[in-house]
Amino acid sequence: MTYLFNQPSAFAAELIEGFVAANADKVRQVTGGVVRSTRSQPNTVAVIVGGGSGHYPAFAGLVGQGLAHGAAMGNLFASPSAQQIYNVARAAHNGAGVLLMFGNYAGDVLHFGQACERLRAEGIACEVLAVTDDISSAGKDELEKRRGVAGDLCVFKAACAAAEAGHDLSKVLQLAQHANSRTRTFGVAFSGCSLPGASHPLFEVEKGRMELRLGIHGEPGIKETDMPSANELAEIFVERLLNELPADIPQAEGQRVAVILNGLGSVKYEELFVVYRRVAQLLEAANLQVVEPDVGEFVTSFNMAGASLTLMWLDDQLETLWRAPTNTPAYRKGSVLVAEPLSAADRIESMEEALPAATAESQESAKRVLRLGDIDAVAGDGDHGIGMERGVLGAVEKAREVAARGAGAGSLLCRAADAWADKAGGTSGALWGVALTALGTALGDRQTPDAQRVATGVREAKEGIMHFGKARVGDKTMVDVLVPFSDSLNEAVAAGASLTDAWLKAAQVADKAAQDTAQLVPKMGRARPLAEKSVGTPDAGAISLALIVNTVGDLLKEHSASEQGA
């Protein structure tokens, strides 16, 4: 269980405050995360890492000289929003472009991708790299689908050392890709983790048993076995990883490897050393030369009891980058000359963006749009319901603020979209941010929304979500509802139906589509490795979308009735 917290909803924000207060000589807080508090070399690449909180020392603990320039920090186990990532990247930018790095989780892919596009649109060169070291999460023929776990550190270290050495963005990216292609991790769990305020862990392991092939977001493993001894666990680790030799390595023997034995939150260092004793023996027996191994906690899963082993096969370039000195709150290596601290003038953050002018009609529409924030979105699959609630509340708060400042319907929706994505985090936060932005852009601030503009906005929301999320109908996601809903709405509007009638008809289609997802096998996201277990249960994102469009339909019907009564 989790012992020390105040309000569970404030836990992530308060941990950032405390972390910065304890490490002010190395980091400073910005909106969305932390950046270095020391001056970086001008005209060098800035490397931004990030993901959900709950994985310390990833990601904030890796910010400092020789490692990351900044870390975007989402809520517990939820990816940071595109806005958070953008804010951190802008604050850390040194003039030579930005590399955004993260574990390969759907929400992170969406949010970091959106932030990258926004930075590029502003003329800042930007690239993204998703770490894919977890051998458990996909087969050798689908390396691009693998998750990023403790191997994050190996890949981050290579990229950041390259940036520190003054390489340009294309070279930093190439070296990071090279490190990623040579990094492999395998993990196990002995018990699940419990988030602050939760009455039970996200999953449980039977006493005396061990879960193999787990994730770091509270996902259970795929296979269960008897609890091994320390030596037996070391043998499992090494055997699995040596069977995963990267394609460009000619043979397993005679190679140099970087090694990380990682505790996932509750396994003590002394236990890890007992395991590493046998790991070292096995690697030596395999004629592998270990270079500067690390044993400890590097990428955790809050307070999960478990461990993982990571190997990065080295060549001369990667060994130089691995050995390069670094000085961060949680990771130190070699000797670093302490950089000059930033001055107060360097720490100024941007002011609130001005709102565009809106017509009186659009301002009145914005007030009606604001009523949609009264939705009670509770649809739970772990953190989905919590994330949806945070997103809705954040969007409503922002919508009220900009409505009071005279925003039109389009601007209100776009600002609410940013707030939803920022507060919710995760995949759903990113997707709802895309959806509301598309709808707001279609409505604009100059004209009263009509059926055609709304239908167009919904269609563009569908296209945007499918572009960023890469999901298709049949993948068991919200897209399984959004596509038939959008198609039905646009067909009805094209046939001359009113917005209310078209929406209500499309909402019925959405209901059926959401329930039909129960028979699908997930092909994307965290649920994909546990695919068969979800059959018989509808997708939470699909259910959320169906609930929301039905609530909007009720409001449209109510508004239509009041107009007729008048």
What the block records as the tokens of 461 is 């929301």
Has 384 been annotated as catalytic? no
CA dihedral 131, 137, 138, 140 (to 10 degrees): 70
Q: Which of 200, 217, 384, 559 is catalytic?
A: 217
Alpha carbon distance 417, 104 (integer Å): 23
Beta bridge partners of 191: 305
What the block records as the tokens of 182 is 């040579």
3-state secondary structure of 38: strand
First to last CA, the chain: 57
- 165 to 40, 44, 172: CA distances (angstroms): 12, 9, 10
3-state secondary structure of 185: strand
The DSSP secondary structure of 223-271, one letter per residue, reads EEEEPPPHHHHHHHHHHHHHTT--TT-S-STT-EEEEEEEE-BSS-HHH
Alpha carbon distance 452, 45 (integer Å): 45
Could you check whether the bond before residue 57 is cis, i.e. omega within 30 degrees of 0?
yes
Q: Specify the DSSP class assigned to residue 357.
A: P
What the block records as the tokens of 512 is 């059926």
Task: Of 182, 173, 279, give the one whose Cα is nearest residue 230.
Answer: 279
> What is the separation of C-alpha 77 from the centre of its chain, rounded to a whole number of angstroms?
8
Alpha carbon distance 491, 485 (integer Å): 10
Give the residue numbers marked as catalytic.
217
